[in-house]
Amino acid sequence: MAQQTIRKAVFPVAGLGTRFLPATKAMPKEMLTVFDRPIIQHVVDEAKAAGIEHFIFVTGRNKGVIEDHFDRMYELEHTLQARNKNKIFQMLMKDLPGPGQTSFTRQQAPLGLGHAVWCAREIVGNEPFALLLPDMLHHSKVPCLSEMIDAYDTYGGNLIAVAPVPEDQTHHYGIVGVDDEKAKVSRILRMIEKPTSGMAPSNLHITGRYILQPEIFALLAKHESGAGNEIQLTDSMIALMDKERQPFYAVRFKGQIYDCGSQVGFLAANVVYALDRSDLAKDIRIKLRSLID
């Protein structure tokens, strides 16, 4: 079935990052580095690899540096070229979205993920879009969003990446119930945000990659608060599925996920992405062993 192409991706980056204070007092959480690239750069790389053409950032106070990061910096470029540091110069250029391919809008108050997504409505317009939560790094050979766009081309509708978590951890996440837990792509029958003990329909959690239809915005516009007194995206997705009868599919992600919003996940991501560097991996391995033994 030919579907409308996914051209735009939304990156909500307006959260306060309180778990990383004081590091995030003046520096956005999304600019903390996982090895030698800001977290947000890793996620933009994933979206670029999946063919996204327009990158929409929902920012807030103290997040201006993200806009600067995705812009040219002429003095630096000039200096690098003057010093024959062409490799670094080329890398900086490669990382950049092209002119006119970024948009920035402000959430003004961090009222929750659902509210952040709603703030992108005018820029997304009336077309399906991708949503990537920057602090969830998806590590795999084939980028998670590429797999989702492939599934979207076949199934259409709304898609959510999922992965299993230990059963005693389900209360931390959005959890889905599906018609076939073993399938790569399965129909979602139920969704619940942070289920209390015994209420989770499975152990498949929502990992932070979505493809959503634009009808989600009318539901988010109701600004209804949910778990944690925040405007939750999951609540509007449930309404889109149950009341508006739109199909939702779970795409099972087989790679590793690092939650860089938590200290342990952030540290693990740093080690894994460092070991990905073939030029440094050997030395890093030796160093890490010497620290642990």
Chain positions 255 to 284 lying near ligand UTP, rule: CB under 6 A, are: 261
- Phi/psi zone of residue 25: left (φ > 0), alpha (ψ -120 to 50 degrees), beta? alpha
**Adjacent-strand bridge partners of 192:** 175
Kindly tell me which residue out of 8, 9, 15, 148 binds ligand UTP, with binding defined by CB under 6 A.
15
Kindly tell me which residue out of 5, 18, 256, 263 binds ligand UTP, with binding defined by CB under 6 A.
18
Q: Determine if 111 is a binding residue for ligand UTP (CB under 6 A).
A: yes
**In this chain, which stretch among 17-25, 147-155, 186-194, 268-276 interacts with ligand UTP, using CB under 6 A?**
17-25
Nearest to 9 by CA among 96, 133, 130: 130
Q: Which of residues 37 and 187 has its CB atom nearest to ligand UTP in the complex?
A: 37
- Quote the tokens at residue 176: 């889905």
Query: Looking at residue 30, what DSSP letter applies?
Result: G
Whether the CB-CB separation of 146 and 47 falls below 8 Å is answered with: no
- Angle (CA) 193-157-13 rounded to 5° is 50
- Phi/psi zone of residue 248: left (φ > 0), alpha (ψ -120 to 50 degrees), beta? beta
Kindly tell me which residue out of 46, 135, 147, 235 binds ligand UTP, with binding defined by CB under 6 A.
135
The residue of the chain with the least Cβ separation from ligand UTP equals 15
Q: Determine if 58 is a binding residue for ligand UTP (CB under 6 A).
A: yes
Q: Which of residues 117 and 250 has its CB atom nearest to ligand UTP in the complex?
A: 117
Question: Least distance (Å) from ligand UTP to the CB of residue 29?
Answer: 6
**In this chain, which stretch among 11-19, 97-105, 158-166, 249-257 interacts with ligand UTP, using CB under 6 A?**
11-19
- DSSP result, 248-285: EEEEE--SEEEETTSHHHHHHHHHHHHHT-TTTHHHHH
Kindly tell me which residue out of 6, 50, 52, 107 binds ligand UTP, with binding defined by CB under 6 A.
107
Binding residues for ligand UTP, total number by CB under 6 A? 22
Whether the CB-CB separation of 63 and 17 falls below 8 Å is answered with: no
The site for ligand UTP (CB under 6 A) is made up of: 12-19, 29-30, 58, 107, 110-113, 115-116, 133-135, 261
